Amino acid sequence: MSEHLLFLTGSLAEASLRQVLHAMAPTPVTWEVRPLKIKVAALLTGEMIKRQLADTGSASRVVIPGRCRGDLEGLSEHYGTPFQRGPDELRDLPEWLGQAGQPADLSQHDVLIFAEIVDAPNLTPASILHQAELFRQDGADIIDLGCLPDQPFPHLAESVRLLKSEGFRVSVDSHRDEELLAGGKAGADYLLSLTEQTLWIADEVAATPILIPHTAGDLESLQRAWETLDSKGRSCFIDPILDPIHFGFTESVVRYHEARRRLPDAPMMMGVGNLTELTEADTSGINALLFGIISELHVGAVLTTAVSPHCRSAIREADLSRRIMYRSRADRTLPKRLHGGLSNRHERNPFPYDSAEISSAANRVKDRNFRIQVNQQGIHIYNRDALHQAVDPFDLFPHLGVEEDGSHAFYLGVELARAQIALQLGKRYTQDQMLDWGVATPPTEENLLEYAKPGSTKQGRKPLTKKGTK
């Protein structure tokens, strides 16, 4: 039995909504449109809907405009019919319906994120705790305390105990035996990095070891170390070590593949910082590619950092990447159209409306308020008096007549600047909204929505909740 969808909208969007729905190829759902007594659908609230919508009829689901902030759970309970948000733009509705109106389930993953505080010896325990909380908000599962060569870390044990008391899982990363022992005895959950020459440390503490080759590229020693611990029933991870570009990168990727072939059941870690930190390029694409490799090889843990300024969103990117790649692998689909958070600068469909459609919308406007839209041809600004188009906002300003109205001029300056950036980079522009930079920017309080879960009424995933999701 096919679903019957009820679309709620405002008077200005009704005709466009019906046109989009009629123009679609046959869909697995039937539909009806009910305009409510409001011009701009995005201004609908839950209370307004309750006042105006008597019932939902035979609808199996009610779809409200994507920008409407109504309480979906409250509406669903009030009417006994599931409410959900559609896409922000009407032009995206066919694709949205093609997914049966369900956002991708990104609630699952199978990769642990170790986030390293690389200068921990130089920080106070309180500062370490503060940084750990920031990393946890970004999606980290384990806080890694990075020790420094020849740098004393007298408060290592204290820092481990403090983090553990606050509910963190902790790893200690050092090449000094005494620091690994101190961290393990203080309660660290993991120790990085042991070789076959230092396996004795694993006999002294309960922490899970992360194993690396005794010498660079030596898979034989790594294999021997793992087999030794495995024969004792000790869990551990192997890390063949990912090298920077032009310093063995390709060979190290091959080494990971060979390690997986030799040890198909061994838990594996990959440190991605040698790529993200040591390559001057946007880290979102680097993380997407690396997590594709991680997913294919079933690497169960990553060590990542956020040291260089261009890596400040690397942990959030790692969190989203592991979820996208898990979903892609589980569904045997390409990692596309699952979430746009890794496409920070460019968007897959940035300009949903052509110039003729914008002109048609302008002809329906009856007031003096300016509307701004962007497409391939440029920036379009219009009200009841005129429609102007340009690539450079400075070419538009002389036609707007706001020289004597400072506040209005300031507002239009901000909006036109956003519009110009959207035009230059190929991004969605929506008037009165910040440009969407994906996970490159931290979540805002008003936008802290969870990843979509099966059966959730929340539309897609905005940024993470404060504690992240598993």
Say how far apart CA 263 and CA 211 lie, in whole Å: 13
Residue 379 confidence (pLDDT): 98
Say how far apart CA 183 and CA 170 lie, in whole Å: 9
Counts of helices then strands in the chain (DSSP H, E)? 15, 15
Say how far apart CA 238 and CA 365 lie, in whole Å: 64
Residue 102 confidence (pLDDT): 63
Local confidence band at 314 (pLDDT 50, 70, 90 cut-offs): very high
Local confidence band at 213 (pLDDT 50, 70, 90 cut-offs): very high
Residue 27 confidence (pLDDT): 65
Residue 457 confidence (pLDDT): 31
For the cut 60, the answer to whether the pLDDT of residue 463 exceeds it is no
**198 with 177: CB under 8 angstroms?**
yes
Which of 359, 465, 454, 378 lies closest to 416 in space, CA to CA? 378
Local confidence band at 462 (pLDDT 50, 70, 90 cut-offs): very low
What does the DSSP 8-state code read for residue 268? B
Say how far apart CA 427 and CA 208 lie, in whole Å: 45
Segment 214-234 mean pLDDT: 96
Residue 26 confidence (pLDDT): 64
Strand partners, 114: 142, 303
Residue whose entry in the numeric block shows the structure tokens 């450079």 = 392
For the cut 50, the answer to whether the pLDDT of residue 245 exceeds it is yes
Residue 444 confidence (pLDDT): 64
The model's pLDDT over 380-432, given as tens digits with 9 standing for 90+, comes to 999 999 999 999 999 999 999 999 899 999 999 999 999 999 999 999 999 98
Say how far apart CA 325 and CA 331 lie, in whole Å: 10
The model's pLDDT over 68-80, given as tens digits with 9 standing for 90+, comes to 877 899 999 999 9
Say how far apart CA 470 and CA 446 lie, in whole Å: 21
Local confidence band at 88 (pLDDT 50, 70, 90 cut-offs): confident
Alpha helices by DSSP H, 44-88: 46-52, 72-79
Residue whose entry in the numeric block shows the structure tokens 């820092």 = 159
| pTM for the full predicted model | 0.82
The model's pLDDT over 345-371, given as tens digits with 9 standing for 90+, comes to 999 889 989 999 999 999 989 999 999
Q: Which CATH class is domain 112-331?
A: alpha beta
For the cut 50, the answer to whether the pLDDT of residue 453 exceeds it is no
Q: What is the mean pLDDT of the chain?
A: 90
**56 with 431: CB under 8 angstroms?**
no
193 upstream amide cis, omega within 30 of 0: yes
Local confidence band at 23 (pLDDT 50, 70, 90 cut-offs): confident
Say how far apart CA 426 and CA 416 lie, in whole Å: 15
Residue 28 confidence (pLDDT): 67
Q: Which residues contact 393 (CB under 8 A, 6 or more apart)?
A: 379, 413, 416, 417, 419, 420
Q: Where are the domains of the chain?
A: 3-98, 112-331, 355-425
* Tokens (6 digits) for 378: 């440029």
Local confidence band at 3 (pLDDT 50, 70, 90 cut-offs): confident
Say how far apart CA 301 and CA 470 lie, in whole Å: 14
341 or 445: which leads in pLDDT: 341
Strand partners, 374: 379
Residue whose entry in the numeric block shows the structure tokens 């551990």 = 236
Q: Which of 205-209, 239-243, 356-360 has the lowest mean pLDDT?
A: 356-360
The model's pLDDT over 98-121, given as tens digits with 9 standing for 90+, comes to 655 566 789 999 999 999 999 999
**% of the chain at pLDDT higher than 90:** 74
Say how far apart CA 9 and CA 15 lie, in whole Å: 10
Segment 457-468 mean pLDDT: 31
Q: Which of 21-25, 53-57, 354-358, 459-463 has the lowest mean pLDDT?
A: 459-463
